[in-house]
Amino acid sequence: MKGKNTAFVGEFSTFSGYFCGMEMIVGHKKLEQLVESVFIAMGCLPEQARTATEVLVAADLRGIDSHGVARLSGCVRLWEVGRVQAQPLINLVHETPSTAVVDGGSGLGLVVAPHAMQIAIEKAKLVGTGWVSVKNSNHFGIAAYHAMMALPHDMIGIVMTNASALVAPTFSAERLLGTNPICVAIPAGEEPAFVGDMATTTAANGKLEILQRKQEAAPIGWIQDEQGEATTDAHALKKGGALLPLGSDRTHGSHKGYALGAIVDIFSAVLSGANYGPWVPPFPAYVPMPENQPGQGIGHFFGAMRIDAFRTTEDFKSNMDNWIRRFRHSRPIDPAQPVLIPGDPERETHARRLQDGIPLMDGVWDDLLAVAEKFSIKI
Amino acid sequence: MKGKNTAFVGEFSTFSGYFCGMEMIVGHKKLEQLVESVFIAMGCLPEQARTATEVLVAADLRGIDSHGVARLSGCVRLWEVGRVQAQPLINLVHETPSTAVVDGGSGLGLVVAPHAMQIAIEKAKLVGTGWVSVKNSNHFGIAAYHAMMALPHDMIGIVMTNASALVAPTFSAERLLGTNPICVAIPAGEEPAFVGDMATTTAANGKLEILQRKQEAAPIGWIQDEQGEATTDAHALKKGGALLPLGSDRTHGSHKGYALGAIVDIFSAVLSGANYGPWVPPFPAYVPMPENQPGQGIGHFFGAMRIDAFRTTEDFKSNMDNWIRRFRHSRPIDPAQPVLIPGDPERETHARRLQDGIPLMDGVWDDLLAVAEKFSIKI
């Protein structure tokens, strides 16, 4: 692999890929081509391979590296052990004018999620809002991709998903919740959209992985050890520890982060019939499935609300612009760090990486090459 | 007033009120009788006075003392200066099958909110879910009262409200958001309902007021001073400081608490046409209204989702019971402090106070007596 790897150096003009210190920088089109070839080789239908690729690479473009192509080899391994179906039967199993439950047919969440979000959008067109809970799915990339699907329709998009248990509720020594993100995307007029995309934990697992790689300590308030004591050991999760809900401890409101993570779990999985709490399937294919699972696969929740189901789109957007400008121009604590609107950092990263390429950690690139080799894909 | 006050000592059997140290303990029926008489004297219609009373005293019964009868004199003062209408014209100004915008007619939020939540419930009966954004309203007591209205209908209730600016977004030295609570009430089967009711700040303002009264310091992470520096001064808000969003600081995820508070503000006020951000009217009648207000009154947001719009109520409730039991019986860090389900502490306080009476701080009771005297109400 190393030979192939070094072959990229200096070939930026042709392959959009070059080394930069420890990082490999790859153009997004090159990356998309590789990812799409892998999904096609797995047996995905061309249109679904295209969608899954767009969702996955959107994470890398927006700077959420932990949810992008770094997950590709994991998806392939889940397919190899039969936990992901390349051509899933995605079924609408129940509906009312404003709601639906979708069975993802064990498909890639990267395919199931946009399908379900589209149903929410269609329902919102007809009755003002649409709400879809999904069972029997898998990892769906970044929530923001799906929530932002609502924006061109002048709708608010709301997306949640559960995930395998890494988080301890307040007072618990056990891990019972995933990092269970919530994303809300809200259109504006002249200003860019508001896109709040957040794990319901103090820190995302991806940030912890960065500290692990750098052999650095974690801030107090991110994790607890197996006994439930605060720790700075970035490796504590592997030793039976847990991530902490947003708020860190009871004094600082961790019971609120716990409640938010719980709401995501219930909307995504108890409403749909997916697995919840400690029974959510793990992402790594080598980790055994929890016993006595009460549902199917992992669960998601999607919502779309048409702006003009409430007031005129013009009035709303002009107020949103005013809201955004007032917040952006508020008096900062440090003049060098202005107040941000949710979505600002990801939008800036997206624009930069579209232009300059996507930096991949060395391990990630090697991983992609290994996947490509497995399917005899030429890079 | 003091004479009347002491007259209560020992009269528990007759008046359900007695002194206990610094606190006055009053039976909830006695308290409701007093509050209802005040709303009637203000000119509220009997049915609305009854509703407003039930909502207000529900806060005291559930232990959210800062949102209960302690607010009554403030409501009266808002009515005196014409900012609250005793007989509001509550109008449905726009609707689709699953949505509505309600103009609260400057009424008591205590009356407007149950009215709007009922509309959400009726829409959910017809099309699966109902979503109502409200403008031109006032303080609505505790969000949990309104969200829990969904429970007897086998629906999930979702409630938000904005409030006057006390909270600084991440990186801001200015206060731009209220404590903007979110409440989600979810029915279960044999287990009591899940009721997560939380301000999107690290600590509620009520907790800070308790520290102020006791002359105690606040934990680092609750508030910042006028320059945006962390402080333990519980009086910092009066000196230009601010409450902090859930997460406390950037390292511990305050940008997530800020995003949550912002979402509540936008759903409650930008969707409806109420005031948002720094323009939300202050609760104390003596504080001048912000200039150049972009909307009307304060804003709320209500949602109701019918369980059987997703799956059978039986399946959902049996899964919720399983969810609740698994979490409640998880391994605790300290065996003396079991893991709680959101809503447990409030439900226990409610049961206890129904039985034993509601403890009121001395100042609150004096305040109630002064209001009663203003309207020549006999206690």
| % residues pLDDT > 70 (chain A) | 94
Q: Please report the ipTM that was assigned to this predicted complex.
A: 0.95
Compute the distance between CA of residue B272 and CA of residue B102 in angstroms, rounded to an integer: 8
Instruction: Identify whether the C-beta of residue A349 lies closer than 8 Å to the C-beta of residue A57.
Output: no
Query: Do B91-202+244-309 and B2-83+357-374 have the same topology in CATH?
Result: no
Interface A-B, measured as beta-carbon pairs within 8 A, has a size of 260
Placement of tokens 């979000």 in the chain: A117
Q: Which residue of A has its CA nearest to B124?
A: A98
Q: Which member of A221, A252, A277 has the closest CB to residue B327?
A: A277
Name the closest residue on chain B to residue A102, using Cα atoms. B310
Residues of B in contact with A258 (CB under 8 A): 342
Which of A346-350, A367-371, B8-12 is least confident?
B8-12
Contact B330 A176 (CB under 8 A): yes
Mutate to test the interface with A, among B94, B99, B160 (most CBs of A within 10 A): B99
Q: How many CA atoms lie within 13 A of B191 on its CB side?
A: 24
pLDDT of residue B4: 35
DSSP 3-state of B272: coil
Between CA B150 and CA B155 the distance in angstroms is 5
Chain B closest-CA separation from residue A326 CA (Å) = 8
- Out of B97, B276, B326, the one facing A128 most closely (by C-beta) is B97
A229 to chain B: which residues are within 8 Å by CB?
333
Which residue reads 């959008």 in tokens? Answer: A121
B224 CB neighbours in chain A (<8 A) are 333
Mean pLDDT of all residues in chain B?
93
Q: How far apart are CA A253 and CA A247, in angstroms?
A: 5
3-state secondary structure B332-344: ECCCCCCCCCCCH
Rounded Cα distance, A229 and B172, in Å? 32
Query: Is residue A229 scored above 50 in pLDDT?
Result: yes
Chain A residues within 8 A of B204 when measuring between CB atoms: none
CA-wise closest residue to A208 among A174, A228, A236, A247: A236
Q: What does the pLDDT read at residue A205?
A: 83
- A291-307 pLDDT, tens digit per residue, is 999 999 999 999 999 99
Q: What is the pLDDT of residue B209?
A: 83
List the single residue in B with minimal CA-CA distance to A336.
B171
Please state, for a pLDDT cut of 70, what percent of chain B lies above it: 94
What does the pLDDT average to over A96-124? 98
How far, in Å, CA of B175 to CA of B287, rounded?
15
- Kind of pairing between the strands at A99-103 and A129-137: parallel
> For residue A206, what pLDDT is reported?
80
- Could you tell me the maximum CA-CA distance found in chain B, to the nearest angstrom? 60
Over residues A102-122, mean pLDDT: 98
Give residue for tokens 């309600």: B102
- Across the interface, whether the CB atoms of B316 and A271 are under 8 A apart is answered yes
Q: Are strands B194-198 and B155-161 parallel, antiparallel or unpaired?
A: unpaired
Enumerate residues 6+ apart whose C-beta is below 8 A from A264.
Answer: A160, A161, A162, A180, A181, A182, A200, A301
DSSP-assigned beta bridge partners for residue A102 = A92, A134
Question: Coil, helix or strand for A68?
Answer: coil
Asked if B332 lies within 8 A of A97 by C-beta distance, the reply is no
Cα angle: B41, vertex B46, B52; to 5 degrees: 80
Closest CA to B374 of B107, B72, B44, B38: B38
**Mean of per-residue pLDDT scores for chain A:** 93
Round to whole Å and give the CA distance between B203 and B260. 14
pTM of the model: 0.95
Pick the residue from chain A with its C-alpha nearest to B229: A333
- Banded pLDDT at B3 (limits 50, 70, 90): very low
Residue with tokens 């002194």: B19
Helix ranges (H only) for A163-232 are 205-214
Mean pLDDT of A114-118: 98
Distances (CA, A) of A264 to A163, A258, B186: 10, 10, 12
User: Please, which residues have CB within 8 angstroms of residue A238's CB and are 6 or more apart in sequence?
Assistant: none
Which two tokens mark A211?
Answer: 């500290």
Length of chain B: 379
B269 by DSSP, 3-state: which?
helix
What angle (nearest 5°) sits at the alpha carbon of residue B223, between those of residues B219 and B228?
130
Position B153, amino acid: H
Query: Which amino acid, residue B152?
Result: P
Q: What is the pLDDT of residue A361?
A: 83
> For residue B244, which residues of chain A lie inside 8 Å, CB to CB?
none
Q: Give the integer Cα–Cα distance in Å for B166 and B177.
A: 6
Residue B352 has pLDDT above 90, yes or no: yes
CATH 3.40.30.10 fits B2-83+357-374, yes or no: no
CATH number of B91-202+244-309: 3.30.1370.60
Strand partners, B122: none
What phi-psi label fits residue A221: left (phi over 0), alpha (psi between -120 and 50 degrees) or beta?
left
Asked if residue A81 has pLDDT above 80, the reply is yes
**How does residue B6 score in pLDDT terms, banded at 50, 70 and 90?**
very low
In whole angstroms, what is the distance from residue A208 CA to residue A166 CA? Answer: 12
The two beta strands, B242-243 and A91-96, are: unpaired
Across A220-239, average pLDDT: 96
Q: CB B98 to CB A129 under 8 A?
A: yes
Query: Tokens for B64?
Result: 């959210």
Q: Which chain A residues are within 8 Å of B128, Cβ to Cβ?
A: 96-99, 131
User: Which pLDDT tens digit goes with each residue over B240-285?
Assistant: 999 999 999 999 999 999 999 999 999 999 999 999 999 999 999 9
Q: Where are the domains of chain A?
A: 2-83+357-374, 91-202+244-309
Residue to mutate among A172, A191, A226, A321, with most B CBs inside 10 A, is A172
Nearest neighbour of A322 by CB, restricted to B128, B294, B331: B294
Residues in chain A: 379
pLDDT of A5 above 70: no
C-beta pairs of B222-227 under 8 Å, 24+ apart in sequence: B222/A252, B222/B248, B224/A333, B224/B168, B224/B173, B226/B173, B227/A333, B227/B173
The greatest distance separating any two alpha carbons of chain A, rounded to the nearest whole angstrom, comes to 60
Tens of pLDDT, residue by residue over A10-54, are 333 344 456 555 678 999 999 999 999 999 999 999 999 999 999
CA A358 to chain centre: 17
A57/A34 Cα distance (integer angstroms): 11
Residues B47-69: what's their mean pLDDT?
96
Judged against a pLDDT cut of 80, whether residue B35 lies above it is answered with yes
CA A127, CA A125: separation in Å to the nearest integer?
A: 6
Give me B303's structure tokens: 């949602």
Q: What's the burial of B314, exposed, middle or buried (CB within 10 Å: 0-12/13-18/19+)?
A: exposed
What Cα–Cα distance (Å) separates residue B290 from each residue in A120, A355, B105, B108?
Answer: 38, 44, 19, 20
Q: Chain B residue with minimal CA distance to A132?
A: B310
d(CA B115, CA B95): 15
Query: Tokens 């391979």 — which residue?
Result: A49
Cβ-defined contact of A273 to B342 (cutoff 8 Å): no
Q: How far apart are CA B374 and CA B289, in angstroms?
A: 25
The answer to whether the CB of A227 falls within 8 A of the CB of B333 is: yes
pLDDT band at residue B5 under the 50/70/90 scheme: very low
- Output the CA–CA distances (angstroms, integers) from residue A148 to A91, A114, A344, B112, in the order listed: 23, 10, 14, 33
